[in-house]
Structure 1
Amino acid sequence: MKRVLIATEKPFASSAISQIADLLHKAGYSLNLLEKYSSKNELLDAASEVDALIVRSDQVDRELLDAAAKLKIVVRAGAGYDNVDTAYAKEKSVVVMNTPGQNSNAVAELAIGLAIYGIREFFGGKSGGELRGRTLGLHGYGYVARNVHRIARALGMKVLTYTRFSKAQATSEGLQVTGSLEELYAQSDVVSIHVPARGIHLKSVSMAVLKQLKKNAIIINTARKEVIDEEDLCAFMTQRDDVKYLSDLRPDCAAVFEEKFAGRYFFTPKKIGAQTQEANTNAGLAAARQIVAFFEEGDETFRVNK
């Protein structure tokens, strides 16, 4: 019998756990659950005898991979997987997968919500603006950005994108793809960032890009803090007192924002883009299905450490 561990400091919704358990039990697998654990040792002990692991933002590092001697597959229930040491997992012959698209609507709705919050002056009583008729620039065009496009279009926004890897997808949907990131930022009233924290995307939002922004622009970041050059962002926000920055993750330079940029920023207490019951259920069930398909059929469709 295959043993599956769900190890989550941020638990799945109880309804999601129930459906995941049913799916795994029907496949003849056992399910262990470790939620809100308080120490690394708890995680190491729980993983020591399992064949498969489902995590959310939990760290799957060398120590864990060494402790989990029987582990064959890790599935990150979500799109980003920078919390998993994919290279070392490959060395250990452990397959790593993500569940792309399962959280995308939840994150997209948050991005639009933050844009509304920003343009309405944080609901503080001051006269704000409207999104209709304004230009939204999508920095990246993956699953989340496509959902943002759908919602923004319904709100009457003009939508542009800059993408290196999804140009065909974007143009097939009638989107204008700008020739550079600088061009995207120069044309946008609101920029929404949707790229992973790896490769060319790391610190891609630099001073060279930021200085192109239109007056009174709003930057929305529901991706990762590592895609922002935070030193450049703070310098830019000092130079341009008309720009707002809203994110669902607290940057390393948050203290600078608190000291210097009052009324021009908002950070959620923790990363909440995927924190809906629907996204919980979608991502968790997708992870469980992928584990069963991997063991029963050798399916590695969503493998990220090939």
Structure 2
Amino acid sequence: MKVIVTDEVAQEGLELLKQDPRVELDIRLGLKKEELLAIIGDYEVIITRSGTTVDKDLLDAGKKLKMVARAGVGIDNVDIDYASSKGVIVVNAPFGNTNSAAEHAMALLLSFCRNITKANASLKSGEWKRAPFTGVELKGKTAGVIGLGKVGGRVATRLKAFECDVLGCDPYIAVKRAHDLGVKLVSHEEIYKNCDIITFHTPLNEETRNMVGEKEIAMMKDGVILINAARGGIINEQALLNALKGGKVFGAAMDVWSEEPPKSETLKELISQDKLVVTPHLGANTFEAQINVAVDVSKEILNYLDEQPLENAVNIPRFDMALMDQMRPFLNLMSVLCDFGVQLVESNLEKVTFSYSGNIAHYDCSPLTVCGLSALLNRRVDQDVNMVNAQLIAEQMGIVIEENKSTQTGAFSNLVTLIIEGEGGKRRLISGTLFEGAPRIVRLRDYSMDFAPAEHMLLLNYEDRPGMIGKIGTIMGAHSINIASMNLGRREEKGEAMVILSLDSAVPLEVMEEVRIATEATFIRAIHMRGAGKCERGCCV
């Protein structure tokens, strides 16, 4: 696998890749866009930080790209939607620099409150002044934290340690999470109206871009202090400049900018304000954080090579990693059911229903559904389909996807059922479960069955009557095709029967036709399972 590194990344992480003989690592820093576009087609993975924009042009040029690895938390420099449409996995390192970013937010706040930067410059110039640098304490202040994720949660904890009353706003977290942090969950408006200090810890997206403008600042208390060590563009910089000059905002501290490096006249004027403490995007710049994020993304690349689950893929549905060991066998089962079931359908797919019954229904089954969809579509389309682009491709093909769950248990503690509907109302149903961790198919259509999938199988329906099994065995023997096992399902004596044969080798078309004629089969199909009983890469990741 060829990997290109386009931004500065800690060597401790890259060493993991250098030690793996499967990886060919190229470090190419400072490339111009045209230079990168000219060579990216040779690589399967690109490792970046914020200095490289992974946009449509780059993704189109990267014909072999399988993964974009962002060595850091923020992914606003990556076009995730377009990467997903191309089947390119995007991974980041959401935990590596969380402590670094949280500590930097606190450093900015304390530096402003205690006039550290001004006092430092004064003393270094030979002055001894104290009165101009009288500061304010955090104790007793009401602090608002907007975004209580990995970084925001740490900042809230540290503000509590400084004896602040902390309010939080985050529509995506549970009340229990806020309770555990000792934070009261409120609305944006309540934070704006009641807080002496407001610190921002959200990603930059369409929802948060210019989230704080003239209107929001007008709601705030006079003399508020604002901190942004998250993403540039969350606070409208012209609005902040006006508020600092007008005195509405007592002061602010900023580590991030809508344009980096800042070039516009607005940003230059903002940065020059006496009431603003500034740093050049240093939130993740600690030795520890740089090593952590480099190691994290390198491990994800190796996980991909080893066909192991990816912990930090941002565009793949995934299980809680604490449950992964329990759920991995179900990914395998789903891959097997779909690979088997889609071979029974000749027409175009119109609707696919995934049903989960029993204990498994207590959990989020969306990764199983996407895994199954990937296995189905890989049999039907020319392009590579994986868990990244499976839903997008299904949507483009007009396939309706449905998921049902029931915690009711029947004969099996866990049961996964696939229903595939094609043109003309044709419908195929297949159910499976796990026996000692291995996939077993237990139902086909309305027949109870019980067999383990094999690489080569033959399925046929015929009217049940004496001597049929003997005829099949005789024909197979005559053509030196060994029958490893046989499973028979039927609804009633001398009614229609369904037989599944597991074979040591594939059945030629002429032999299938001989069997069909001898048994007067109403349906016959050779099944070839790619890696029977083994999960495909599209599911593992």
Same fold? TM cut 0.5: yes
* Deviations 1:40-99 (CA, angstroms, capped at 9, x unpaired): 234334533121111100211122212222110001111110101112212222111221
TM-score normalised by structure 2 residue count: 0.51
* Deviations 1:244-283 (CA, angstroms, capped at 9, x unpaired): 1211124552234267xx3211222x21111111111111
Q: Which residue of 2 aligns with 1:264?
A: 275
Larger Rg: 2
1:49 pairs with one of 34, 38, 42:
42
Deviation of 1:192 (Å): 0.9
Indicate if the aligned counterparts of 1:27 and 1:292 stay in contact, CA closer than 8 A: no
The alignment partner of 1:48 has SS state of helix
Deviation of 1:288 (Å): 0.8
Q: Which residue of 2 aligns with 1:79?
A: 73
Deviation of 1:155 (Å): 2.5
Deviation of 1:298 (Å): 5.1
Indicate if the aligned counterparts of 2:156 and 2:183 stay in contact, CA closer than 8 A: no
| Cα gap change, 1:275 to 1:114, in 2 (>3 Å) | same
| Cα gap change, 1:191 to 1:6, in 2 (>3 Å) | same
Deviation of 1:289 (Å): 0.9
Indicate if the aligned counterparts of 1:21 and 1:31 stay in contact, CA closer than 8 A: no
Q: Which residue of 2 aligns with 1:292?
A: 302
Deviation of 1:303 (Å): 2.4
1:153 pairs with one of 160, 166, 181:
160
Please tell me whether residue 119 in structure 1 is matched to residue 130 in structure 2: no
Indicate if the aligned counterparts of 1:23 and 1:288 stay in contact, CA closer than 8 A: yes
2:158 & 2:246 partners in 1: Cα distance? 32
The alignment partner of 1:284 has SS state of helix
Indicate if the aligned counterparts of 1:5 and 1:46 stay in contact, CA closer than 8 A: no
1:23 & 1:255 partners in 2: Cα distance? 41
| Cα gap change, 1:241 to 1:183, in 2 (>3 Å) | closer
2:100 pairs with one of 76, 92, 106:
106
1:111-260 to 2 correspondences below 5 Å: 111-125=105-119, 126-168=133-175, 169-178=177-186, 180-250=187-257, 253-257=266-270
1:272-291 to 2 correspondences below 5 Å: 272-291=282-301
Q: Which residue of 2 aligns with 1:91?
A: 85
Q: Which residue of 1 aligns with 2:478?
A: none
Indicate if the aligned counterparts of 2:237 and 2:267 stay in contact, CA closer than 8 A: no
Deviation of 1:7 (Å): 1.3
Structure with the higher strand share, 1 or 2 = 2
| Cα gap change, 1:242 to 1:80, in 2 (>3 Å) | closer
Deviation of 1:103 (Å): 0.9
2:166 & 2:145 partners in 1: Cα distance? 7
2:13 & 2:211 partners in 1: Cα distance? 39
1:123 & 1:277 partners in 2: Cα distance? 23
Structure 2 residue runs of 5 or longer lacking an equivalent are 120-132, 259-263, 317-541
* Deviations 1:224-253 (CA, angstroms, capped at 9, x unpaired): 222123343333334335521211124552
1:25 pairs with one of 19, 26, 35:
19
Deviation of 1:207 (Å): 2.5
Residue identity matched to 1:183: E
1:303 pairs with one of 284, 303, 313:
313
| Cα gap change, 1:50 to 1:258, in 2 (>3 Å) | closer
TM-score normalised by structure 1 residue count: 0.88
Indicate if the aligned counterparts of 2:153 and 2:181 stay in contact, CA closer than 8 A: no
Indicate if the aligned counterparts of 2:233 and 2:257 stay in contact, CA closer than 8 A: no
Indicate if the aligned counterparts of 1:250 and 1:267 stay in contact, CA closer than 8 A: no
Residue identity matched to 1:22: L
Residue identity matched to 1:173: L
Residue identity matched to 2:47: I
The alignment partner of 1:233 has SS state of helix
**RMSD between superposed Cα atoms in Å:** 2.2
Residue identity matched to 1:158: D
The alignment partner of 1:74 has SS state of strand
| Cα gap change, 1:235 to 1:19, in 2 (>3 Å) | closer
Q: Higher mean Cα deviation, 244-253 or 184-193?
A: 244-253
Number of residue pairs matched? 295
1:3 & 1:31 partners in 2: Cα distance? 6
Residue identity matched to 1:245: A
* Deviations 1:189-232 (CA, angstroms, capped at 9, x unpaired): 21110011113212211233222322322100011222123343
Indicate if the aligned counterparts of 2:243 and 2:249 stay in contact, CA closer than 8 A: no
Identity across the alignment (%): 29
Indicate if the aligned counterparts of 2:16 and 2:298 stay in contact, CA closer than 8 A: no
Residue identity matched to 2:312: F
Indicate if the aligned counterparts of 1:24 and 1:288 stay in contact, CA closer than 8 A: no
Deviation of 1:165 (Å): 0.5
Deviation of 1:156 (Å): 2.5
1:62 & 1:278 partners in 2: Cα distance? 33
* Deviations 1:101-145 (CA, angstroms, capped at 9, x unpaired): 211111111110110111113443421112223222111111111
Indicate if the aligned counterparts of 2:12 and 2:294 stay in contact, CA closer than 8 A: no
1:230 & 1:61 partners in 2: Cα distance? 25
Q: Which residue of 2 aligns with 1:67?
A: 61
Residue identity matched to 1:21: E
Deviation of 1:23 (Å): 4.6
